[in-house]
Structure 1
Amino acid sequence: MNNFRQYEEAIAVYHNGLSVRKAPIFCWDFHNEFLTAVKSFFLDLKKLNSIASQNKWTQNNWDIENSLKDEVIIVTDAKLKIVFASQNIVKMNGYVEAEILGKSPKMFQGEATNQITSNEIRLAILDHKPFEKVVMNYKKNGEVYACLIKGYPVFNTKGDLSHYIAFEKAA
């Protein structure tokens, strides 16, 4: 027991003799934000993989992992009802996934949305063709923003239309 006390005293003397000054940590928010982002990324990836495997999506060459970091991914069923939205959607337009599930992506459109562009997207969807367009969308707070949308039809292993997937980011 005496040796342990001597060890503790020696450590205390050593630390007190260091010229390092301590600064209090006022906030760990930066760490919490990082952990939240990592958790959201893996949760989104798990949900997307689950949707893909349950519906037997055919192979595609999308870089889902990088897209989840930089873009918003929205998946609709074949009837254009939203079944998935990545967590980044909150940063882009203020909505959380629960608020938009089961709704049409048209909910983001309004008076400033160009009808010609909307019709071009609608025709691409009807023809089961990919598209890339910039659309004027609305945030939850009513603010207008330009949104670059890259949309793709998704087919299952039988060749039937299963879903649509869109990769979106503010333009």
Structure 2
Amino acid sequence: MSNFQEYDGAIAKYHSCLNVKKPPVFSWDFHHEFLYELKNSFLDLNKLNSIAVQNKWDCDNWDLKIRLKEEVIIVTDIKLTIVFASHNIVKMSGYEPAEVLGKSPKMFQGEETSLVTSNEIRKAIELQEPFEKTVLNYKKNGEVYACLIKGFPIFNLKGRLSHYIAFEKAA
């Protein structure tokens, strides 16, 4: 047993003499978070591209890779049912993407959401026109936040309405 104590003492003495700077442990959290966001961004981009190819979208003018870094992307079908939500929706609303799939974007609205603004958005959707509005939405925990929404109808290569896409960020 004394051999182990001598060995441990020698190792401790050796390491105490080294002039090595160690990275702080908390830096690993940043690295992990970066990798997690990078992975989710990659998954979101692949899913969006898959939806676009499957539905033959005519949408060459959006740089989805950049938008995924800066904005939340929500895609609905023509009945306004959410079929895709980017992973960064969690930061803005507290909802996981899986929690919003199959629901209407109205799930984010509440008492303080302006009916006038909601009606303007509804009208633009009915007319299949792009819109840009700021609305008061609700987080999962009930907190109110201002959300800038840039919405666009998406047409397929035959010119038929396929989906709606919204690029959102906290205003």
Q: TM-score band (shorter)?
A: 0.7 to 0.9
Structure 1 residue 23: Cα displacement:
2.8
Q: What is the alpha-carbon distance in structure 2 between the residues aligned to residue 113 and residue 98 of structure 1?
A: 24
Aligned: 1:160 with 2:163: no
Q: What is the alpha-carbon distance in structure 2 between the residues aligned to residue 68 and residue 115 of structure 1?
A: 29
* Alpha-carbon displacement from aligned partner over 1:105-161 (angstroms, at most 9, x marks no partner): 000001100000000000000000000000000000000000000000000111110
Whether the 8 Å contact between 2:74 and 2:84 is mirrored in structure 1 is yes
Structure 1 residue 25: Cα displacement:
4.1
Q: Percent identity?
A: 69
Q: What is the alpha-carbon distance in structure 2 between the residues aligned to residue 22 and residue 147 of structure 1?
A: 44
Structure 1 residue 24: Cα displacement:
6.1
Q: What is the alpha-carbon distance in structure 1 between the residues aligned to residue 115 and residue 103 of structure 2?
A: 20
Whether the 8 Å contact between 2:74 and 2:165 is mirrored in structure 1 is yes
| 1:57–1:111 Cα change, 3 Å | same
The match for 2:73 is 73
* Alpha-carbon displacement from aligned partner over 1:85-117 (angstroms, at most 9, x marks no partner): 000000001000110100000000011000000
| 1:24–1:159 Cα change, 3 Å | closer
Q: What is the alpha-carbon distance in structure 2 between the residues aligned to residue 61 and residue 24 of structure 1?
A: 43
Structure 1 residue 22: Cα displacement:
3.4
Q: CA RMSD in A?
A: 1.9
Whether the 8 Å contact between 2:59 and 2:154 is mirrored in structure 1 is no
> In the alignment, residue 22 of structure 1 is paired with which amino acid?
K
Post-superposition, which runs of at least 4 consecutive aligned residues in structure 1 deviate over 6 A?
none
| 1:24–1:69 Cα change, 3 Å | closer
The match for 2:110 is 110
Q: What is the alpha-carbon distance in structure 2 between the residues aligned to residue 143 and residue 50 of structure 1?
A: 33
Structure 1 runs not aligned, ≥5 long: 1-14
Aligned: 1:23 with 2:25: no
